[in-house]
Structure 1
Amino acid sequence: MSDECHVCLLGLIFLSSLLTGISGVKVTNVFISSGENVRLSCNNALHDLKSTTWFYNRFRDSAAVELIYLGIKKKDTESHERLSLGSDCSLNIRNISKEDYGSYTCRQYVNGDQKQGPDAHVYLHILHVSSSQTEISAGRSVTLFCQLYSFAEVSCDDRIRSERIELFWVNQAGVKLTRSDSRYQILSSSDHCIITLNTTLLNEDHNREWRCEVTQRDQVKSSVTYTVKSSGEKQAHQSVMEEFLLDVQL
């Protein structure tokens, strides 16, 4: 092969890497909190539902699962009832749960078997908050867990560094809570994409909101709000009502 052909070949390889990215695959990242609805775009030229197939992978090495095959929903998937196909071939998922995180791929075909353009890849990241306590009352300690569930192509630690992703807690006023505040104990675990908030509840914390946010390159991508409902307040209210009813009966 001549030197000129070598130069041309190297030029094509370099151009291809610029267009598709270092990994060879262009990926769209979507962040959403559990309980919400989401729309995943196909990003291909055809708006023909019968040409569209959607695949799902939760883990990098797991086998792909067909969610939609040539415009028809597969009935043997866990999320079957919550899926629908948009008129633009987007995949709509209702009432997102933390188990829905992963990699979604849209592939389109022409004349049944000829692939139309490159696949559209979407990584769906789910933000979820849970509590260590089921009974919450003033004077008791509570720990809130905020976790970002992400497709395991790389470790969470690597993703946080490369994508500049940050998890943090804010109060009702939108002020970021820090470790310097003696009332809160905040612990982050980057390798698992978890940040915890521990505090001892006060009487005035009833109906108080704490919000966990995820940012990418300093832009808020999603958030989840946890509202404290003190069981002590509820029990006290019930006791007052019981005394009132007793007085009425007497």
Structure 2
Amino acid sequence: MSDESHLCLLGLIVLSSLLTGTSEEKVTYVFISSGEDARLSCNNALHDCNSTMWLYNRFRHSATVELIGLGIKNNNTERHERLSLGPDCSLNIKNISTEDYGYYSCRQYVNGEQQGPDAHVYLHVLRVSSSSSSSSQTEISAGRSVTLFCQLYSFAGGSCVDWIGSERIQLFWVNQAGVKLMRSDSRYQILSSSHHCIITLNTTLLNEDHNREWRCNVTQRDKVKSSVTYTVKSSGEKTSSSISTSEEKVTYVFISSGEDARL
């Protein structure tokens, strides 16, 4: 056989192995905001869930935790109360927190033998906080500086540079109209770190910022996957609005002791 034939055959073998590996692995990316409920699909489920196992890893080389074993929830896990198995064998997680991000695997066992490859789900959690509060709303005086932190907790762990590049992940801030905030805008100081999947927004609040919203978006391949809205309530504006009582209707009733009254 000629050298060209050997090279051609080798190329076909490599191509075949690559295609086979790609077709067998089922991977789903899920992006969700902290505090929401998540549903992780089991794309390799059989006719019932008695053969279904859900496994979890926080990092690539961390210990594997069994969440669901042959359709039965493991009550020994810290978050078992927030977990449930759907009728389609999906894994439901209530009130997602930053502790839930990571790598989930749905596996099928029949008669002690694994059936086919795992179905993998990468769960990424988006969270926004501020320098003055850990919630998504703050009351703060005009003229005061505030820094908002938007972080994507991902399976990539301490560094997500390569993952961001391969999946075209982007984090950015937008205003109430959905317009992207730019670094060139003198009002905002925006800093990002792809190494830690975090972007910060710093600004000085104005009187007209009462009830203003800023939203952090995460996109994958130019499609918005999740977002978190941060609302600012100026303490001065809140006080003045609460004083306004022009809508109140007051009636004065005068009556003698011992009489019947009707209000």
Matched, 1:14 2:18: no
Q: Is the 8 A contact 2:128 2:149 kept in 1?
A: yes
Q: CA deviation at 1:47?
A: 3.3
- Any idea what SS the aligned residue of 1:229 has? strand
Q: Is the 8 A contact 1:28 1:122 kept in 2?
A: yes
Q: CA deviation at 1:240?
A: 8.4
Unaligned runs of 5+ in 1: 242-250
For 1:202 and 1:115, how far apart are their aligned partners in 2? 60
Q: CA deviation at 1:103?
A: 0.1
After TM superposition, the structure 1 stretch with the greater mean CA deviation from structure 2, 119-128 or 72-81, is 72-81
- In structure 2, give the amino acid aligned to 1:150: S
Q: CA deviation at 1:45?
A: 4.2
- In structure 1, give the amino acid aligned to 2:124: H
Q: CA deviation at 1:219?
A: 0.8
For 1:147 and 1:55, how far apart are their aligned partners in 2? 25
Q: Is the 8 A contact 2:45 2:52 kept in 1?
A: no
Q: Is the 8 A contact 2:158 2:196 kept in 1?
A: no
| Alignment partner, residue 40 of structure 1 | 40
| Alignment partner, residue 259 of structure 2 | none
Q: CA deviation at 1:15?
A: 2.2
Alignment deviations for residues 29-60 of structure 1 (CA, whole Å, 9 cap, x no partner): 11111111111111114032211110110111
Q: Structure 1 pair 16/40, CA: closer, same or farther in 2 (3 Å)?
A: farther
Q: 2:201 aligns with which of 186, 197, 200?
A: 197
Using structure 1 for the length normalisation, give the TM-score.
0.86
After TM superposition, the structure 1 stretch with the greater mean CA deviation from structure 2, 189-198 or 69-78, is 69-78
For 2:158 and 2:11, how far apart are their aligned partners in 1? 28
Q: CA deviation at 1:106?
A: 0.6
| Alignment partner, residue 248 of structure 1 | none
- In structure 1, give the amino acid aligned to 2:122: Y
For 1:200 and 1:148, how far apart are their aligned partners in 2? 24
| Alignment partner, residue 113 of structure 2 | 114
Matched, 1:98 2:98: yes
Alignment root-mean-square deviation, CA: 2.7
- Give 1 or 2: higher helix fraction: 1
For 1:130 and 1:204, how far apart are their aligned partners in 2? 21
Q: Is the 8 A contact 2:26 2:43 kept in 1?
A: no
- Any idea what SS the aligned residue of 2:237 has? helix
- In structure 2, give the amino acid aligned to 1:63: A
For 1:87 and 1:142, how far apart are their aligned partners in 2? 45
- Any idea what SS the aligned residue of 1:192 has? coil
- Any idea what SS the aligned residue of 1:56 has? strand
- In structure 1, give the amino acid aligned to 2:199: I
- 4+ runs of 1 displaced by more than 3 Å? 6-14, 231-241
Tell me the matched-pair count: 237
Q: CA deviation at 1:12?
A: 5.5
Q: Structure 1 pair 25/17, CA: closer, same or farther in 2 (3 Å)?
A: same
Q: Structure 1 pair 9/54, CA: closer, same or farther in 2 (3 Å)?
A: farther
| Alignment partner, residue 141 of structure 2 | 137
Counting only pairs closer than 5 Å after superposition, residues 140-179 of structure 1 correspond to structure 2 as: 140-152=144-156, 155-179=159-183
Alignment deviations for residues 4-41 of structure 1 (CA, whole Å, 9 cap, x no partner): 9x99897555323213339x844211111111111111
For 1:70 and 1:80, how far apart are their aligned partners in 2? 15
For 1:115 and 1:217, how far apart are their aligned partners in 2? 34
Q: Is the 8 A contact 1:57 1:65 kept in 2?
A: yes
Q: Percent identity?
A: 74
| Alignment partner, residue 235 of structure 2 | 231
After TM superposition, the structure 1 stretch with the greater mean CA deviation from structure 2, 116-125 or 12-21, is 12-21
Unaligned runs of 5+ in 2: 134-138, 246-263
- Which structure is larger by alpha-carbon Rg, 1 or 2? 2
Q: Is the 8 A contact 1:138 1:202 kept in 2?
A: yes
Alignment deviations for residues 169-227 of structure 1 (CA, whole Å, 9 cap, x no partner): 00000000001111000001110000000000011111111000011111111111111
Q: Structure 1 pair 13/158, CA: closer, same or farther in 2 (3 Å)?
A: same
